[in-house]
Amino acid sequence: MDLHGWIDAYLDYLRVERGLARNTLDAYARDVNALAAFASGGIDPRDVTSETLASMIAANTERGFGARSSARQLSALRGFFRFLVRERAVPEDPTTGLDRPRLARRLPRVLSFDEVMRLLDAPDESTDRGLTHAAMLHLMYASGLRVSELCSLRIGDIDLTRGIVSPLGKGGKRRLVPVGEAAMNRVSAYVRDVRPRTAAARKAKETFLFLSPRGGGFSRDGFWRMIRRYALGVGISPLPSPHKLRHSFATHLLRGGADLRAVQAMLGHADLGTTEIYTHVAADHVRAVHAKSHPRA
């Protein structure tokens, strides 16, 4: 089987056995297929050497790839060649001799509490459209959902009585996240008053929690445009992405004294190290408060 055939087998393995989400699968496919394009996909994978991969990464750098993109691609290729070694398609992993590009540690930008409040108050809740948007924004900030998780929520994924949402996260894993009263009140009002009207008007049979004006689910791009439109209206700059609400959720919890493990569970991070970056953001806030308030700062 040539390189193209093994790539198809690997992507099938990721989809069926690993249960990776569609967006994650697409990212793996782009990175691994880049190797096929560079090395001519009809070759035998045993002919791909460390030098081949180093040349590809160098060529990508010349085309403007940053260290983060190169590191992501190398990580995908390592997974691919580990799979080939297990399947005995190659005798050894050619990525073992390659160094991972050095990444500058970037702290996620978060919205201040005032900016979050202005954003949450932006929709006109006296209209069906505004209440729908308000429920989505409040729920995202209250639970730290990824935008894909928010848009794919089903009616059965939220318990309005207990105040708990159960999103389907990466790798097909579910988690339970408590939702505050302010957000739950808006979601309850949307489910009670708005969603039935939207479903009836569009004869929608979808089970998505949040229905778009056309009766289907919201798209990630549609929610992205919506959040930036409201941010522009209330003067938040630079304009935030939906993921900024997730970053803000985690950082504000830690600033309020939340346990790191609890935040990890609510975010759905498999690795605690992924969550720990938010402690650096929170520490910056503590240092700023200390510098402003302490008489010997």
Q: What interhelical angle do 242-255 and 260-267 show, nearest 10? A: 160
Helix H or strand E segment including 155: none
For each of the chain's 297 residues, which pLDDT tens digit applies?
888 899 999 999 998 888 887 888 898 999 899 888 888 756 888 988 888 888 888 888 888 777 778 888 888 899 999 999 999 999 999 988 787 766 556 667 889 999 999 999 999 999 999 999 999 999 999 999 999 999 999 999 999 999 999 999 887 889 999 999 999 999 999 999 999 999 888 787 789 999 998 888 899 899 999 999 999 999 999 889 888 999 999 999 998 888 888 999 999 988 887 788 888 778 777 677 667 776 765
Q: Residue 214's pLDDT is what? A: 86
Given the residues 15, 170, 220, 228, select the one marked as catalytic. 170
DSSP per-residue string spanning 65-100: --HHHHHHHHHHHHHHHHHHHHTTSSSS-TTTTPPP
CB atoms within 10 A of CB 153: 23
Instruction: Indicate which residue of 72, 133, 138, 146 is catalytic.
Output: 146
pTM exceeds 0.75: no
Residue 45 DSSP SS3:
helix
Count the alpha carbons within 13 Å of 263 in the hemisphere toward its beta carbon.
Answer: 24
- Does 1.10.150.130 match the CATH number of domain 3-86? yes
pLDDT of residue 37: 87
The CATH 1.10.150.130 portion of the chain extends over 3-86
Please answer whether residues 188 and 142 qualify as being in contact, where contact means their C-beta atoms are separated by less than 8 angstroms. no
Annotated catalytic, 170? yes
User: Is 229 known to be catalytic?
Assistant: no
pLDDT at 57: 84
Name the catalytic one among 118, 243, 255, 285.
243
The yes-or-no answer on residue 269 being catalytic is yes
Is residue 278 among the annotated active site residues? yes
Is position 154 annotated as part of the catalytic site? no
d(CA 235, CA 92): 55
Decide if 18 is catalytic: no
Ranges in the chain annotated CATH 1.10.443.10: 113-292
Which CATH number describes the domain made up of 113-292? Answer: 1.10.443.10
CA distance linking residue 163 with residue 28, whole number of Å: 36
Catalytic annotation, pick one of 10, 28, 141, 278: 278
Helix (H, G, I), strand (E, B) or coil at 239: coil
